[in-house]
Amino acid sequence: MLKIYNTLTRKKEIFKPIKKGKVGLYSCGPTVYNYAHIGNLRAYIFADILKRTLKYNSYKVKHIINITDIGHLVSDADEGEDKMMKALKREGKEFSKKSMKEIAHFYTQSFYQDIEKLNILPADKFPKATKNIHAMIEMIKQIQKNGYSYETSDGIYFNTKKLQDYGYLARLDIKGLRCGARVNINPEKKNITDFALWFKAIGEKRTHLMQWSSPWGKGWPGWHIECSAMSTKYLKQPFDIHTGGIDHIPVHHTNEIAQAHAAKDKPLANYWMHNEFLILDKEKMAKSGEGFITLSTLKNKNINPLAYRYLCLSAHYRSPLSFNWENLIATQNALSNLYHIISRYPKPGKVIEKEKEKFLAAINNDLDTPQVLATLWDLIKSDQPNDDKMATVLEFDKVLGLGLDKIKKISLKIPNEIEELRKQREELRQQKKWSEADQIRKEIENSGFTIEDTPQGSTIYKI
């Protein structure tokens, strides 16, 4: 029985899909104007663990991750320039559509490479915003028809006052926002929380290389409408689960919900799940600060990307994760140790059902990956047969995704004298001459080997 924490209700709930045996899953994707930093990537590791858990529980999952290649301004409050436009200036590129498409393509490919290195299962579709403008326009038209929007000189805005429970996901204090981050810089906006659905291409402050025709003249979409339109296009409305970082709760996800409700008078998703921040020096990872660390940064320090995945698994997705080089190196050592142990195991035997039950109890309890890792190490340290350990560890890894099925076996040639000592010790053990058998064990260890006893007999390993 899978239980997940629903941000919408602020409680852990038994997961019940809309359609039996099937799950529609949407994850907010990257804005492809720069490399993804490791703080961004935590969200996709979390979504991957969720997806793997659903699949392990025999659900057929349809997963969508959008690619934002237009419309995302530098501020959530409809302020500043489009991030894609900003990227052109940062990289000194020609101010042209061709250059913008090249930047989007380059960083999209970089994102694909990052998730592959992290052993993240690819989504069923990665729809691009620029390829789904029609769906966005149609949704805006429906919102307008239902009376939830108004037109200004520079765009089409969502009227948040028309929606009775606007801000419920974030439990927003609408009055308090007057002193908060959403500064009202547009005198034509009716409410401080109103947001743009469509930007009109007028004036120096409203220019963009990418423009489309619409019922409101040429322009381009706001950021929030992208996810509402693409998620419902590919998953229908409502769908089961929407994921993202906690920074999306107060604005982006709040506005996605508002748009979807205004368009069809239905919920957008039944479950909303959010991962906490990665913390570097007590600050949120951000692309603009000194904490801009990518997978390439890790590679340059000889860190396996899967060590970062392991680090993310060591903390619950709803807990802030502290990052420093010391704990990452310690994590890499732990992962390397795990790989070394697995490499000495024989071919998989049978899955140990009691251990599988512990694993399921942990992962189905709101994706408790720290407990799964604890269960994994307890199993490895146990006196269970190594072939059964191997089968069970590989079962765990169907969700953990640490690539344990790809570890090469170490073929070890045991010297004749060590093999002879093993046989002598085995005979002494059968005769219950424990003290003499223990002396031989010490002799074997002094020669650089270790011996492990199992119900099937003893096995020699190189220390």
**pLDDT tens profile 361-419:** 999 999 999 999 999 999 999 999 999 999 999 999 999 999 999 987 655 577 888 88
- The per-residue pLDDT for 204 is 58
Pick the CATH number of 280-406 from 3.40.605.10, 1.20.120.640, 3.30.2320.50, 3.30.930.10: 1.20.120.640
Q: What fold is seen in the domain 19-275? A: Rossmann fold (3.40.50)
* Residue 20: exposure state from Cβ atoms within 10 A (0-12, 13-18, ≥19): exposed
Residue spans per domain, the chain: 19-275, 280-406, 416-462
Report pLDDT for 180: 45
Cβ within 8 Å of residue 145, ≥6 positions away: none
Q: Which residues of the chain have pLDDT under 50?
A: 179-180, 285, 288
pLDDT for the residue numbered 416: 86
| Predicted local distance difference test score (pLDDT) of residue 456 | 56
Torsion 191-195-199-203 (CA) sign: positive
Q: State how far the Cα of 370 lies from the Cα of 311, in Å rounded to an integer.
A: 10
Per-residue pLDDT, 453:
73
| Token pair belonging to 356 | 């599988």
Nearest to 264 by CA among 346, 141, 168, 113: 141
CA atoms within 13 A on the CB side of 13: 14
Check: CB of residue 369 under 8 Å from CB of residue 42. no
Q: Which position has the token pair 């929007």?
A: 149
Q: Are 87 and 33 in contact (CB under 8 A)?
A: yes
Give residue 407's pLDDT.
87
Q: Which residue has the tokens 């498409």?
A: 101
Which residue in 109, 17, 118, 46 sits closest to 402, CA to CA? Answer: 118
* The overall pTM is greater than 0.85: yes
- Which residues neighbour 421 within 8 Å (Cβ) at sequence distance 6 or greater? 440, 443, 444
